[in-house]
A and B are shown apart, each in its own frame.
Chain A
Amino acid sequence: MRKYKGPNILAVFSAQDLLLKGIHELKRSGYENFLVYSPVPHHDIEHALHRPRSPVRVFTLIGGLTGFLTGWALTIGSAMHYPLIVGGKPIISIPPFGVLAYILTILFGALATMMGFLLNARLPQLRLTPNYDERLSSDHYGIQVFGDEESLKKWARVLKKTGAIDVRKFAPTHRHSVNVVTSHVLLFFVGVFVSTITLASCTNDNGEIGNYRYRTDMHEQPSFKKQEDPRPPVKGTVPVSGYELPIKDSLTAVRLVNPVRLSSRNADTAKVLYETYCLPCHGLGAKGDGPVAAKFQTPPDLTLPRYRRAPDGYLYYVMRHGHLIMPPYYEGVKSRERWLIVQHLRTLQRLQ
């Protein structure tokens, strides 16, 4: 026979001592399949019933421990996954992570206690026991005895004798025995759980579910991919160092006059610039014997007479736009610096 299910009688009492008498009658004959209704919990009723202790405390313990472990796992795990030193603290900083473990112990413990209470007390149930009496929550007591026809008849008589003011009989049909709402609620949570798992398994590291991007983190910016160039400046943007006029071709270039005169002050700058940008291929003395040239392609000896005769503007033009395999130094080297290098080249040619 199932416990607390099936045909039953409800005996209503108006006083607690009469209720206790009724409980004693049932207990004395060893009959356990009954429920007691009371407006408040009372030690006398608990003693008389002598039922096993509630297992809710186990839920609390397990929930608390789960929270404690979750706290450490979340903090240490995430710190290990993305090791980033912040504020000079160790990657695994025990004291601050302990704060999180402590908080989650309480949070999980409380949620598990709630769960334990609901599961054990068979709540929520959106339909009351059909035999429920509305006086029971306020100032009356009740004993609901479950069992077969014969024992119910007997107990109705006994409880009436002990002082029940009212004894009601109820035989549930099939419809009553199934708690539809509870199963729907359970189904809802199972659905939420399954869909969360499904969604979580579809996400990737870029914060996408399929093609849909749910995350708007800081890297969500108009610069498209990690390997792409930064965005070009707006058309017509002028650098703070000044704007270089375009040169049509080398014939225009040869007419340009070197605006820079070499002096004792800028000679060193010119030398450093040459040795930074040109030396690797052209060599220390511009003879085309640089360390890169030895393994790559030898540039011409710039001290040859035809380069001595070349106008400053031509050398400047080659530096700016490149020539054959020589790359253009339009962006790396500024206009004035190029003119300085031309002057240094002239010095090297004169030294020859």
Chain B
Amino acid sequence: MSFNLSYTKTDLDLTQTLNRPKKWYYVALTLLGLGVAWGAGSWLHQILTGIGVAGKNNPVGWYLYITTFVFWVGIAHSGTLISAILFLFRVKWRAAVYRSAEAVTVFGLATAGLFPLLHMGRVWVFYWTLPYPQMGGLFPNFRSPLVWDVFAITTYLTVSSIFFLTGMVPDVAIVRDKAKGWRKKLYGFLAQGWQGTDQQWKHYTQAYVFLAALATPLVISVHSIVSWDFAMSIVPGWHTTIFAPYFVAGAIHSGLAMVILILIPMRNAFRLHEYITDHHLESLAKFLLFTSTVVGFAYVIELFIAWYSHNPWEQAIFLYRAFGDYWWAFWSLFLCNLAIPQLFWFKRLRRSTLALVLVSIAVTIGMFFERLVIITTSLAHEYIPFMWGLPDLTFTEAGIVVGSFSWFFFLFLIFAKTLPVVSMWEVKEQLDPPISGGERVGGRR
């Protein structure tokens, strides 16, 4: 944060993001709306016709839907990492970026949460996944990782939404106090009567610490549970113990890339250079470099274990990944997730906005390919050669994937213009408070 900020200026700068949007905003919103409509139409077509239109067939019954699901759950993770774990560690640069990162979490989960519904054959009985006694008092099978998944995702969405909204309350109160007319009523409702009394702050700060502490283990556990959807089976290439940490590292890797991709255009559009500085982006870039080495380590270990285990099926599947039908995706994930982020060893590239955007795009693509390779190749080449086969990409399936991306950015655009994108009270907390007699302009503490 720059040194010539004060409480007054912070509030003025950061509530300006809510002013009447420019034309490009509506253009982008319309385009994304069309994408969402395409996805919704595809889904409707699938519901009316049957799951067959999504190209689901033996042997690859899990294809782009699950790939996209894992991708979005992964995207969600870095938000909680930045907002909760860095909060507990009192990392200062978190304050300016965490609100957007948390929005990425909530909207990422709101997108991922659609996918269990999207690949249901009979979506109108979705409630069978919930724990209630079905015929004769039969509950869901709690030994199944798919049931854990339902619990983990629901819990993650609930806890991160609570955390997101709780962090927002004092800021919405600021907006309420500056607004007029119907906006005052709307933000007054959202602020729920927040006045910033010492009693409220006392309970608030303690609740916030505990919410952060409760959200922290979720960063580790949710994607571990997603990985167990695969690792608990006996499919070669999935049945490994490394999967949980491997998926968690990958999740944070892709999430950080998405946060960078969101922050940079937002900073330019809202002119937030004083709040989201190059220092913040550089910290994120360092983090991305770290996770890329962790992910790369996991890739290499997987290959090593396939060789070291003397397990012919494991070896066969890794040879197939490297030199089979999906060789291009396999090698591009090494390139995108491991090699390209190594550029961030250079300070000049860490501080270059263009380099940050390009590397983040590469990582996002690479992480999508990683899930595609893991899920598709293992199913396409299981134990019996008689069962080998490749999936077909259908128009419906592609429409839903495009729709999910549109949906995510659509939600984010709406958020950016209706709620404060940078946490005002936490930025102000890091400034010197106004003091009587002369020096009213604070600086970094």
Q: Which residues of A contact B (CB under 8 A)?
A: 4, 14-18, 35-42, 45-46, 49, 51, 53-54, 56-57, 60, 64, 74-75, 78-79, 81-82, 84, 86-87, 89, 93, 96-97, 99-100, 102-104, 106-107, 109-111, 113-114, 116-117, 120-129, 132, 134-139, 144, 163, 205, 207, 215-219
Contact = CB atoms under 8 A, between A and B. Distances in A.
A37 B221 contact: no
B143 A78 contact: no
Nearest to A143: B198
Interface of B: 6-8, 11, 125, 131, 133-139, 141-144, 147-148, 151-152, 154-155, 158-159, 162-163, 166, 170, 173-174, 176-178, 188-189, 192-207, 210-211, 214-215, 217-218, 221, 225, 425-426, 428-429, 433-437, 440
Contacts of B193: 123-128
A134 B175 CA distance: 10
A39 B207 contact: no
A121 B203 contact: yes
A252 to B, nearest CB: 51
B207 A116 contact: yes
Given A16-B433, A40-B428, A110 B200 contact: no
A111 B199 contact: no
Given A139-B6, A219-B135, A86 B141 contact: yes
A99 B150 CA distance: 12
14 contacts: A37-B195, A38-B196, A39-B7, A51-B202, A74-B139, A78-B137, A106-B155, A111-B162, A113-B207, A116-B203, A120-B199, A122-B200, A144-B197, A217-B134
Nearest to B9: A139
A35 B199 contact: yes
Contact of B206 (A42, A54, A123): A54
Nearest to A67: B155
A219 B136 CA distance: 10
Nearest to A77: B139
Of residues A64, A106, A132, A205, which shows the largest number of chain B Cβ atoms within 10 Å of its Cβ?
A106
A122 B203 CA distance: 10
Contacts of B137: 78, 81-82, 205
B232 to A, nearest CB: 9
Contacts of B131: 74, 78
Contacts of A93: 143
Nearest to B125: A216
Which of B148, B162, B203 has the largest count of A CB atoms less than 10 A from its CB? B203
A57 B206 contact: yes
Contact of A99 (B134, B206, B225): B225
A64 B170 CA distance: 26
B442 to A, nearest CB: 10
A42 to B, nearest CB: 6
Contact of B203 (A56, A82, A137): A56
A107 B159 contact: yes
A109 B134 contact: no
B135 A218 contact: yes
Given A51-B198, A103-B152, A138-B177, 16 more contacts: A35-B197, A38-B198, A39-B170, A40-B433, A86-B143, A103-B151, A107-B158, A113-B210, A114-B211, A123-B194, A124-B193, A135-B177, A137-B195, A139-B7, A207-B134, A215-B135
